Amino acid sequence: MRTLLILIVCICCFPLANADTIRMMQYNLMYYTTSAPSGCNADEAYLDLKDENFKVIMQYAQPDVLCVNEIGSQSVYVDRFLDNVLNVDGVTHYASCPLTNFSGGSIANMLYYNTEKLQFHSYFYITTAYRDINAYKMYYRSNTLLEGDTVFITFLIAHLKAGGYDNNAEQRFVQVQRLMQRLEQIGVADNYVFSGDFNLTNSNEATYQHLINYPNSLYRFYDPIDEEGNWNNNSQYRYIHTQSTHTYSENGCYSTGGMDDRFDFILVSPYIYYGSKKVKSLIETYKALGQDGSFFNGSISADNSVVPSEVAVALYNGSDHLPVMLDFELQAELSIRNSEDFASVNILNPIDNQLKINLFLDRELKLNFELYTIDGRRIDNFSKDCESGETIIAHHFNYPSAFYLLKISDSENRVMVRKLIKR
Whichever domain contains 380, its CATH number is: 2.60.40.2550
pLDDT, position 2: 43
Tell me whether residue 406 is in a domain.
yes
pLDDT, position 332: 65
pLDDT, position 246: 97
CB within 8 Å of 299: residues ≥ 6 apart:
245, 246, 247, 258, 259, 316
pLDDT, position 421: 85
Tell me whether residue 140 is in a domain.
yes
CB 377 within 8 A of CB 358: no
Asked whether residue 77 falls in the same domain as residue 220, the answer is: yes
Asked whether residue 315 falls in the same domain as residue 350, the answer is: no
CATH number at residue 64: 3.60.10.10
Q: Containing domain of residue 238, as a range?
A: 16-332
Number of separate domains in the chain = 2
Asked whether residue 260 falls in the same domain as residue 166, the answer is: yes
Asked whether residue 79 falls in the same domain as residue 205, the answer is: yes
pLDDT, position 227: 95
Asked whether residue 375 falls in the same domain as residue 324, the answer is: no
Tell me whether residue 9 is in a domain.
no
**Does the model's pTM come out above 0.95?**
no
CB 28 within 8 A of CB 321: yes
Asked whether residue 274 falls in the same domain as residue 244, the answer is: yes
Cα angle at 163 between 162 and 164, to 5 degrees? 140
Tell me whether residue 80 is in a domain.
yes
Tell me whether residue 125 is in a domain.
yes
Asked whether residue 355 falls in the same domain as residue 283, the answer is: no
Domain final residue, candidates 332, 351, 377: 332
Asked whether residue 258 falls in the same domain as residue 224, the answer is: yes
Asked whether residue 343 falls in the same domain as residue 314, the answer is: no
What sign for the dihedral angle of Cα 376, 377, 380, 385? positive
Domain final residue, candidates 332, 357, 384: 332
> Looking at this protein, which amino acid is placed at residue 355?
L
Asked whether residue 305 falls in the same domain as residue 165, the answer is: yes
Domain final residue, candidates 317, 332, 347: 332
Convert the pLDDT of each residue in 211-265 to its tens digit: 999 999 999 999 999 999 999 999 999 999 999 999 999 889 999 999 999 999 9
Asked whether residue 318 falls in the same domain as residue 401, the answer is: no
pLDDT, position 349: 80
pLDDT < 50: residue spans in the chain? 1-16, 334-338
Asked whether residue 238 falls in the same domain as residue 119, the answer is: yes
